[in-house]
């Protein structure tokens, strides 16, 4: 090449060492040996070329007049560098763009108002209702037992049916008792005959006494004869009295025999529902045997126990109405709720209060009476007895779904006038239906949030949609969010 002509060939000096490493200060070069062999290319300053013949170079020497061909001009090297780093630049740009988009979405979400439903707090007079578990029992429960011993020969009623008073339920073998009646009848007749004989002797003795008395006074007969007549008359009177007693005893025995004969027919002492027969036909029964039971079910009793405080509240409520606790018109009607949740259509009243408080449970037993037409209710059933025990004046009511609990503390979220949710600690009183009475923490003009409460935090911006309590209950879910 001519000197001074601008070309892409330049002479550079590279150094080598024993390990055949070569260094060059320029990037993007292709190195040739003096014989024209291309040793390699790289874009780094640190160059290492494979050498097949050690005769070409010697370690530790400086090689001059090497023909080094520039691969490209400066623009080409810039393009090459840009191609190398372009993927990294594109990835960085995408990452930055994604982060900016995510931060923008998070910012938008944090500033957007959360839609919630809110219910206005109610303030009204609320009747507090006591609720107690009761056990149903017959108003009268009669155990049917025989009064005589004998073999059971017949059952004359259908188990579980309605029986009336004096209806025959069982029949005991009556032959032995019939024989006793016949024997007692004969003894009565015999005693009556003896009485008639004694009366005849009494009449004869009286006749003799009346005849001999004037004769003895006239000294026509001896005085001893008169004394004998008097003694015989007295003996006749005694015989008549003894005969009368014998007749009475015989008649009493006959009456007892007739009663025992009648007792062979085991009858119901009350009207009601007869239970299952405890002893079958053919068994030998005695007065200690329980054959069945009959319960009077209309009306029916319900036994329940209440605490000392509830009992005093009932007394105060009755005294306020000016009536008697045990009267049918006590001013304290009772309601019976059956196990299926249905309310018994007939109101009841208290008929019995135990004489003392149970020292172990601190409760007193009370019996209530409920009309039971058609004997639908049966002894042994369970139910809930309710009664209004108190009228709470100006009570604050909130829906149950609005109540949250955190470590034993009851809380509600209220929608403030600044369209933000604020958490408030509240104190709860008794529960009334689906509402709670709040004794402290809320005012009547506030709004409590009933939906999306799990997403709320104190100070969260909310978009309040005020609804009725019935609508809140209809659209609520067990988790408190919709």
Residue 114's alpha-carbon distances to 86, 405, 409, 412, 467, in angstroms, are: 44, 21, 25, 17, 16
Domain boundary among 392, 426, 446: 392
Instruction: Note whether 261 and 166 are same-domain residues.
Output: yes
- Tens of pLDDT, residue by residue over 73-129, are 445 555 545 555 566 566 666 666 655 555 555 444 445 788 888 888 888 888 888
Task: Sort strands 29-32 and 62-70 into parallel, antiparallel or unpaired.
Answer: antiparallel
Q: Are 27 and 84 in contact (CB under 8 A)?
A: no
Regarding whether 377 and 398 lie in a shared domain, the answer is no
According to DSSP, the residues that pair with 284 across neighbouring strands are: 151
**Which residues have CB under 8 Å from 132's CB, separation 6+?**
304, 305, 306, 310, 384, 385, 386
**How many domains, in total, are found in the chain?**
4
Locate 256 and state its tokens. Answer: 């007892």
Domain membership flag for residue 131: no
**Do 384 and 410 lie in a common domain?**
no
In 3D space, the residue among 444, 439, 441, 413 whose CA is nearest the CA of residue 428 turns out to be 439
Select from 36, 55, 71 the last residue of a domain: 71
CATH (domain of 325)? 2.40.30.170
Numbers of helices and strands, H then E, in the chain? 5, 26
What's the rounded Cα separation, in Å, for the pair 442 and 429?
13
Long-range pairs, 436-440, Cβ under 8 A, ≥24: 436/397, 436/398, 436/399, 436/400, 436/403, 437/126, 437/392, 437/395, 437/396, 437/397, 438/121, 438/396, 438/397, 438/398, 439/396
Distance CA 167, CA 155 (A): 12
Regarding whether 156 and 269 lie in a shared domain, the answer is yes
320 in a domain, yes or no? yes
Burial of 441 (0-12, 13-18, 19+ CB in 10 A): middle
Q: Tokens 């109540």 appear where?
A: 403
- Return the pLDDT at 155: 94
DSSP symbol at 343? B
Same-domain pairing of 162 and 251 = yes
Co-location of 177 and 190 in the same domain: yes
Is the domain of 376 the same as that of 305?
Answer: yes
Residue 172 lies in a domain: yes
155 and 223 share a domain?
A: yes
| Max Cα distance, the chain (Å) | 219
Scan for tokens 């007549």, then name that residue: 229
Spatial contact of 156 and 168, defined as CB atoms under 8 Å apart: yes
The answer to whether residue 101 sits within a structural domain is: no
Tokens of 430: 């008794």
Q: Look at residue 97 and tell me if it is in a domain.
A: no
Is residue 240 within 8 Å of 204, Cβ to Cβ? Answer: no
Residue 285 located in a structural domain:
no
Produce one character per residue of 248-282: b if its CB has 16 or more CB atoms within 10 Å, e if not.
Answer: eebbebbeebbebbebbbbbbebbbbbbebebeee
Q: Residue 440's domain is classified under what CATH number?
A: 2.40.420.20
Residues spanned by the domain of 448: 116-124+394-475
Return the H-helix or E-strand segment holding 102: helix 74-111
What are 14's strand-pairing partners? Answer: 63
CATH number for position 154 = 1.10.287.620
Residue 333 belongs to some domain of the structure: yes
- Please indicate, yes or no, if residue 107 is contained in any of the structural domains: no
Q: C-alpha 353: how far from its chain's center?
A: 26
The Cα–Cα gap between 385 and 348 comes to: 9
Instruction: Give the residue from 215, 245, 274 where a domain finishes.
Output: 274
Q: What's the CA gap between 467 and 118, in Å, rounded?
A: 6
Indicate if 254 and 360 belong to the same structural domain: no
| DSSP H/E element including 411 | strand 409-415
Give the Å distances, CA to CA, from 20 to 69, 70, 83, 227: 20, 22, 30, 185
401 and 382 part of one domain: no
Could you tell me how many residues make up the chain? Answer: 482
Same domain as 402, residue 388 = no
**pLDDT value for 148:** 93
Question: Do both 410 and 378 map to the same domain?
Answer: no
Q: What is the pLDDT along the chain (482 residues), one digit of tens a residue?
A: 444 443 333 444 444 443 344 444 443 444 444 444 444 444 333 344 444 433 344 443 333 333 333 333 445 555 545 555 566 566 666 666 655 555 555 444 445 788 888 888 888 888 888 889 999 999 999 999 999 999 999 999 999 899 999 999 999 999 999 999 999 999 998 898 888 888 888 888 888 778 878 887 877 778 887 778 788 888 888 888 888 899 999 999 999 999 999 999 999 999 999 999 999 999 999 999 999 999 999 899 999 998 888 888 778 777 776 656 665 566 678 899 999 989 999 999 888 889 889 888 889 999 999 999 988 999 999 999 988 777 788 888 888 888 888 888 888 898 888 888 889 999 998 888 788 899 888 888 888 888 888 888 888 888 888 887 677 666 554 444 44
How many angstroms separate the CA atoms of 334 and 113, rounded?
50
């Amino acid at each position: 090449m001519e000197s001074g002509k601008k070309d892409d060939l330049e002479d550079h000096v590279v150094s080598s060492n024993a390990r055949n490493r070569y260094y060059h200060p320029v990037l993007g070069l292709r190195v040739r040996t003096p014989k024209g062999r291309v040793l390699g290319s790289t874009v780094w300053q640190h160059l290492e070329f494979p050498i097949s013949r050690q005769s070409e170079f010697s370690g530790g020497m400086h090689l001059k007049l090497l023909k080094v061909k520039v691969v490209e001009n400066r623009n080409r090297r810039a393009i090459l560098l840009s191609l190398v780093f372009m993927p990294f630049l594109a990835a960085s740009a995408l990452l930055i763009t994604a982060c900016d988009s995510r931060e923008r979405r998070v910012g938008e979400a944090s500033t957007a108002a959360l839609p919630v439903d809110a219910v206005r707090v109610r303030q009204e007079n609320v009747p507090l209702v006591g609720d107690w578990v009761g056990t149903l029992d017959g108003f009268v429960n009669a155990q049917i037992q025989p009064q005589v011993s004998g073999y059971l020969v017949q059952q004359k009623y259908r188990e579980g049916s309605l029986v009336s008073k004096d209806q025959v339920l069982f029949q005991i073998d009556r032959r032995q008792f019939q024989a006793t009646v016949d024997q007692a009848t004969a003894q009565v007749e015999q005693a009556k005959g003896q009485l008639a004989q004694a009366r005849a002797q009494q009449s004869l003795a009286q006749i003799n006494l009346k005849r001999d008395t004037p004769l003895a006074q006239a000294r026509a007969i001896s005085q001893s004869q008169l004394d004998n007549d008097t003694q015989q008359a007295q003996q006749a009177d005694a015989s008549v009295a003894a005969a009368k007693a014998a007749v009475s005893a015989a008649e009493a025995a006959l009456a007892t025999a007739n009663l025992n004969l009648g007792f062979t027919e085991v009858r119901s002492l009350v009207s009601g529902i007869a239970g299952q027969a405890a002893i079958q036909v053919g068994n030998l029964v005695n007065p200690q045997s329980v054959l069945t039971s009959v319960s009077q079910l209309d009306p029916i009793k319900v036994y329940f126990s209440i605490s000392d405080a509830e009992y005093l509240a009932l007394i105060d409520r009755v005294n306020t109405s000016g009536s008697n606790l045990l009267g049918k018109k006590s001013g304290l009607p009772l309601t019976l709720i059956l196990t299926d949740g249905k309310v018994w259509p007939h109101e009841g009243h208290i008929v019995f209060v135990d004489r003392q408080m149970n020292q172990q449970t601190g409760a007193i037993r009370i019996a209530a009476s409920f009309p039971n037409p058609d004997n639908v209710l049966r002894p042994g059933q369970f139910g809930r007895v309710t009664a209004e025990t108190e009228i709470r004046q100006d009570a604050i009511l909130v829906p149950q779904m609005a109540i949250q609990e955190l470590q034993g503390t009851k809380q509600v979220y209220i929608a403030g006038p600044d369209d933000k949710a604020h958490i408030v600690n509240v104190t709860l009183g008794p529960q009334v239906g689906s509402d709670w009475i709040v004794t402290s923490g809320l005012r009547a003009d506030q709004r409590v949030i009933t939906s999306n409460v799990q997403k709320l935090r104190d100070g969260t911006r909310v978009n309040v949609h005020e609804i009725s309590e019935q609508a809140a209950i209809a659209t609520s879910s067990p988790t408190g969010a919709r």
